Chain A
Amino acid sequence: AQSVTQPDIHITVSEGASLELRCNYSYGATPYLFWYVQSPGQGLQLLLKYFSGDTLVQGIKGFEAEFKRSQSSFNLRKPSVHWSDAAEYFCAVAPNRDDKIIFGKGTRLHILP
């Protein structure tokens, strides 16, 4: 069965600092991987997705993620966070491009001024 693990429930970083959110997945075949952000009172927004090709994926808002098959990881990074990045971040996996999505438990990002 597919599963997604986000080992960090909360992460706090200072504004301007770099960020890395960890994500590990369990899936037998080549997964379709996503990162979503959920801000209070707002819906889920897709940051980026990996289906195939270049393992370093660029997303919106300056985020990027790297697919590492050998480590079953898809970590999200940003070189310099802004206060507006404070939100809940979900890593997710799907068996097919347009299929149901399995979400990780999420990582809440806090930003220190």
Chain B
Amino acid sequence: GAVVSQHPSWVICKSGTSVKIECRSLDFQATTMFWYRQFPKQSLMLMATSNEGSKATYEQGVEKDKFLINHASLTLSTLTVTSAHPEDSSFYICSGVLAPDTQYFGPGTRLTVL
């Protein structure tokens, strides 16, 4: 099956710094990628929809200025958590859509903000 990778797999940063997470579709082109957030022992919550070459669409309650998403190519989307705070600590998961209809999920990135 298709593979989606994320880098880094885990990151620890200081409060106030910014962190960039990469999501790559390794063997397919993903016009659409999704970013999810998962708190410990909870479900995945959709943060935003990322379309190649256009602005991301954010879900209600997600701060677009805090979670910057860039989908610069058909195989790469990035999520930058700006001015991170401890409450941003979470597990971030991306997925890429392999046309016509199958989403493949990355392994996730564990972010810890001290």
**Given contacts A51-B101, A97-B100, A102 and B106 within 8 Å (CB-CB):** no
| A98-B99 in contact (CB<8A) | yes
| B107-A103 in contact (CB<8A) | no
Which residues of chain A (58-113) have a CB below 8 Å from chain B?
A: 90, 97-98, 100-106
**Given contacts A98-B32, A98-B100, A101-B34, A43 and B43 within 8 Å (CB-CB):** no
Q: Do most interface residues of chain B lie in helix, strand or loop, or is the interface mixed?
A: strand
Number of A-B contacts (CB under 8 A): 47
| CA distance in complex: A3, B14 (Å) | 36
| CA distance in complex: A49, B100 (Å) | 14
Q: Return chain B residues, CB-CB under 8 Å to A43.
A: 4, 93, 105-108
B44, B46, B93 — most chain A CB neighbours (10 Å): B44
Answer yes or no: B18 CB below 8 A from chain A CBs. no
Closest to B101 in A: A97
Task: Give, as a whole number of angstroms, the nearest-CB distance from B42 to chain A.
Answer: 7
| CA distance in complex: A18, B32 (Å) | 38
1/0 per residue, CB under 8 A from A, across B94-114: the answer is 010101111111111000000
Q: Return chain A residues, CB-CB under 8 Å to B100.
A: 97-98
Answer yes or no: B90 CB below 8 A from chain A CBs. no
Query: Interface residues, chain A, CB within 8 Å of chain B?
Result: 32, 36, 41-46, 49, 51, 90, 97-98, 100-106
